[in-house]
Structure 1
């Protein structure tokens, strides 16, 4: 039975691979992402090599429910595209399938998609890399062998991925000619971060709008161990454009001592605001959280120049600004993995 499912999946995949549309992610017992031209002139996806495949699958994913973005050896990136598929069979075992874009190199070229099959209760996890269309035949052969082996060893693996394939294949045809991805994304693309005008703290004590920051600039980072500031270097700057516009979330922060103080006991400080897309990570008292995961009452860290140190700020309001779209957004990569936007600690994506 397992062999028959495997053959069926492979046949369906062959049909899909022959009809890849612009910016449509194809699934082979999961999601096979095929990169398409982007707004900066990239003409075609980079090929996935067998070495790349093994590097991606060697990454230890601790909590896929929380990990939407991961860097591997500074060269490879996993970027989760959508909510997981969830399956509840009559055997009582919950099964989930997560999909991650596989990006490679400084240009972050998309080379395929990683599918992670997980059974949360047992902690079991199976990772397969679905190559992009430009991958070498030996990579496809390796991938098919992985499907066969895992399908024989894990009940439910092939059937859940075959279901996903069927669903995404149907979506592909429903969207034919529309140029839209078949993936049901959570809140738009995962490449977006801060809008223009967000102020980045520089190491010399000044601040600069994020769109003016360049690789090599010295900026302020956060040392979580000592909760103090430190200098770091910007290693890369990404700018992303979307003609249809990008939704932004705003957080409004106040010092925790003011939130809890009695009336008349203090002179109120001006609230701090920070805006970003829902996927960008910030540093909270509980650790790393994406903007969309942060709730009222969460504690963030803001640098207070008058005190020459960081203060705890409480989120007093969270405002989804889907009606106020921006077309271009920016992200920094730093040696330290953090920097300050409007004085508040944020993390590299």
Structure 2
């Protein structure tokens, strides 16, 4: 519970850092009211007042839309929340919809000023949402990462002439394909269809030559996971250069910045689930070749772990 609380706090620090509005902690009544909001037409209801709150969404920006290999469409709408009387920012409301259910899932994400009791309620809601809808957690994390990254690099990424060589994988990592099989990284070609949020086609593969330090993380899925070539006693190992971005519960984060207790996402059948980082090691080995791939929607599944393209 404490680890999830720390992860959630890190997520909200990332999400709300951009905001210039004056903030305060959300009250229990407001937190409850946000989750009780109703929508006549989610596509058109971009600004309204309810339960002492103002809900505000950019109506010119489409929702984040995801299509997994199960063929179901998932969407995430994000509303900024303000107190109706003082217009102070109190958090974010995420509205998750998918074609399997006509009823949306509402999750109120408080800002960092909220009381611990409210954070406890938020964590319970997050768990419940993950149980009710496959893909809920990974869609929300991906949407928040894109929405509030501001086009910045992942934490720990460096600037410099070698940037293009520092977002890569060694040859013996495996890429998940759209057909459910896997293929070694050094065998991936432009035009290959790989797994992600729906089938996506590899646009470009780049091989880099030199001397590259490889970092390693060992990951344990929160729940049981389907067996793959890269699981041993439910543990998953991922290796990459330190700057490569990974999708975590706290948003976009560089491989070398992952620490024990962080939460990432792993593929499990046609969906994705949370997995805890239990060990990390920098410079686990050196290699003379690394590979990077460019995808259509900015993500891929490497050794079963959801990774992001460099920006």
Shorter-normalised TM-score: what interval? 0.3 to 0.5
Larger Cα Rg: Structure 1 or Structure 2? Answer: 1
Q: Of the two structures, which has the highest relative contact order with CA contacts closer than 8 Å and spacing of 6 or more? A: 2
The alignment's TM-score, normalised by the length of structure 1, stands at 0.41
The alignment's TM-score, normalised by the length of structure 2, stands at 0.46
